[in-house]
Amino acid sequence: MSLYSRITGTGSYLPPRKLSNAVLVAELAAKGLETSDDWIVERTGIRARHFVADGVFSSDLAFEAAKNALQAANRNAQEVDLIIVATSTPDMVFPSTACILQNKLGANGGIAFDMQAVCTGFVYALSVADSMIKTGAAKCALVVGAEVFSRILDFKDRTTCVLFGDGAGAVVLEASDTPGILASDLHADGKHVGILCVPGHVSGGAISGDPVLKMDGQAVFKLAVGVLEDAARAALTKAGKTEKDIDWMIPHQANIRIMQSTAKKLKLPMDKVIVTVDQHGNTSAASIPLALDYGVRNGKIKPGQTLLLEGVGGGFTWGAVILNL
Ligand code: ACO
């Protein structure tokens, strides 16, 4: 049994089709939906997002991100004994996307399951993997966030279809004698199910209910700003740290205004916040590991630094993790 778990490699993958606001606005206009680059940038900070091609699934994106993370950690797939895929857009109703990924990687035999906590999924998954490593259930975990949100968007609803994108991010989390994951703080409040959901389900061989994303944007915004500060402070207290110890905040990339407001409440300057929402849009459970990998690979985030990861999403779910890289 190990005292700690530590991230030893990060990876990510974005599907090649990148749509700038201008391209998306033109595509939507052709379908009779009016929006603009100005509106999207001003309200959200989003300038572009990636969409998968037909026939590409979350497990395909997860596979590419996981390969990159394994390479960075200098591990091969056979050494992985736990795979958790955080996703709200699984390949199938069942089996889990984690099992499909496990088979694609040739990592068969270990533990594999999906984590459903919408945009907080990666934070939940990292915390669960940390606990499993600390109890000795696993030694080398792949924790992945992977989404094809373009599949569940209503392209007749301009209040939501401009916000989201597809992608995947992954980390290798290993048993360690030195501290990596320091603390986490996770929450959910199911009374808010209706403000952000895809209400449809499969029944009797058909889809029953609406199989596209529904959101009360303003209700989400208000809740998000409050709970993210609380979770960050609670995780910092558990880790015996203060906001002054944070080298980088890596928030869920939903909206630049939510990120700015959380940073302000935590008295963190924006140059300590990793921002990818402008280029990725909101990739739900994939957004935090995508932003983490972006920060690591472009040299901003360095080994030994203290990171705050925090997410909020449908459920309503929210949480934060403090870690040393
Ligand atoms: N283009 C042009 N106009 C638009 C668009 C659009 N794409 N979408 C909405 N509008 C219009 C509305 O119709 C409204 O017009 P009206 O005043 O004539 O009625 C006007 O813009 C303002 O609409 P609001 O909804 O009040 O806009 P708001 O400033 O609240 O911004 C937004 C909307 C961006 C969705 C914001 O509420 C937000 O970011 N909320 C949080 C969303 C979020 O982060 N979701 C993800 C959570 S994570 C997860 O689990 C998936």
> What region, left, alpha or beta, does residue 35 occupy, with left being phi > 0 and alpha being psi -120 to 50 degrees?
beta
Instruction: Give the number of domains in the chain.
Output: 2
Q: Please indicate, yes or no, whether residues 121 and 229 belong to a single structural domain of this protein.
A: no
Question: Whose CA is closest to 102, among 129, 126, 127, 77?
Answer: 77
Closest residue by Cα to atom 33, ligand 1, is: 217
At CA 252, angle to CA 247 and CA 253, rounded to 5?
A: 105
30 with 168, same domain: the answer is: yes
Residue nearest to atom 31 of ligand 1 (CA): 43
153, 221, 284, 310, best to mutate for ligand 1 pocket (most atoms within 8 Å of CB): 221
Mutate which of 220, 223, 225 for ligand 1? The one with the most ligand atoms within 8 Å of its CB, which is 220
Q: Which of 40, 150, 198, 218 to mutate to test the pocket of ligand 1 (most atoms within 8 A of CB)?
A: 218
pLDDT of 1: 61
Q: Are residues 168 and 95 in the same domain?
A: yes
User: Which residues are CB-neighbours of 296 under 8 A, at least 6 positions away?
Assistant: 10, 72, 325
Within this chain, do residues 298 and 214 fall inside the same structural domain, yes or no? yes
Q: Are residues 195 and 94 in the same domain?
A: no
Kindly give the number of the ligand 1 atom that is closest to the alpha carbon of 218: 37
Q: Which residue CA neighbors atom 48 of ligand 1 most closely?
A: 313
Question: Phi, psi at residue 88, to the nearest 5°?
Answer: -110, 0
Contact assessment for residue 115 and residue 289, using Cβ atoms and an 8 Å cutoff? no
| Alpha-helical segments (H) within 7-139 | 21-30, 37-44, 58-73, 97-105, 121-134
Residue-range definition of the domain harbouring residue 306 = 181-324
Dist. CA 314–CA 312, nearest whole Å: 7
172 and 34 in a common domain: yes
In this structure, the answer to whether residues 140 and 214 fall within a common structural domain is no
> Does residue 134 sit in the same domain as residue 40?
yes
Together in a domain, 26 and 155: yes
Nearest-CA neighbor of 184 among 307, 28, 39?
307
How far is Cα 145 from Cα 54, in angstroms, rounded to an integer? 20
The protein residue with its alpha carbon nearest to ligand 1, atom 40, reads 217
Q: 168 with 186, same domain?
A: no
The answer to whether residue 282 is catalytic is yes
Distance between Cα 26 and ligand 1 center (Å): 19
191 and 165, same structural domain? no
**DSSP secondary structure, 244-263, as one string:** GG-SEEEE--S-HHHHHHHH
> Which residues line the pocket of ligand 1, CB cutoff 6 A?
35, 39, 43-44, 118-119, 158-159, 162, 196, 215, 217-218, 220-221, 254-255, 258, 282, 284, 313-314
For residue 265, report the distance from its CA to the centre of ligand 1, in Å: 22
The structure tokens 């209700």 sit at 219
For the CA of 313, the nearest atom of ligand 1 = 50
* 14 & 147 share domain: yes
Q: Write the residue with the smallest CA distance to atom 35 of ligand 1.
A: 217
* 68 part of the active site: no
End of a domain among 176, 192, 227? Answer: 176
12 and 170 in contact (C-beta within 8 Å)? yes
Walk along the chain (325 residues) and give the pLDDT tens digit of each residue.
678 999 999 999 999 999 999 999 999 999 999 999 999 999 999 999 999 999 999 999 999 999 999 999 999 999 999 999 999 999 999 999 999 999 999 999 999 999 999 999 999 999 999 999 999 999 999 999 999 999 999 999 999 999 999 999 999 999 999 999 999 999 999 999 999 999 999 999 999 999 999 999 999 999 999 999 999 999 999 999 999 999 999 999 999 999 999 999 999 999 999 999 999 999 999 999 999 999 999 999 999 999 999 999 999 999 999 999 9
Q: Would you state the pLDDT for residue 106?
A: 97
Which CATH number characterizes residue 158's domain?
3.40.47.10
Strand 317-324 with 306-313, pairing = antiparallel
Domain boundary among 147, 176, 205: 176
The answer to whether 85 and 24 are in contact (CB under 8 A) is: no
Task: Using alpha carbons, select from 107, 100, 110, 109 the residue that is nearest to residue 78.
Answer: 107
Q: Is residue 50 among the annotated active site residues?
A: no
End-of-domain residue from the set 142, 176, 210:
176
Ligand 1 midpoint to CA 158 (Å):
8
Can you tell me which atom of ligand 1 is nearest the CA of 213? 51
Distance 138 CA to ligand 1 centre (A): 42
Kindly name the residue from 50, 68, 119, 280 that is annotated as catalytic: 119
- Name the pTM for this structure: 0.97
Give the number of the atom of ligand 1 that is nearest the alpha carbon of residue 118. 50
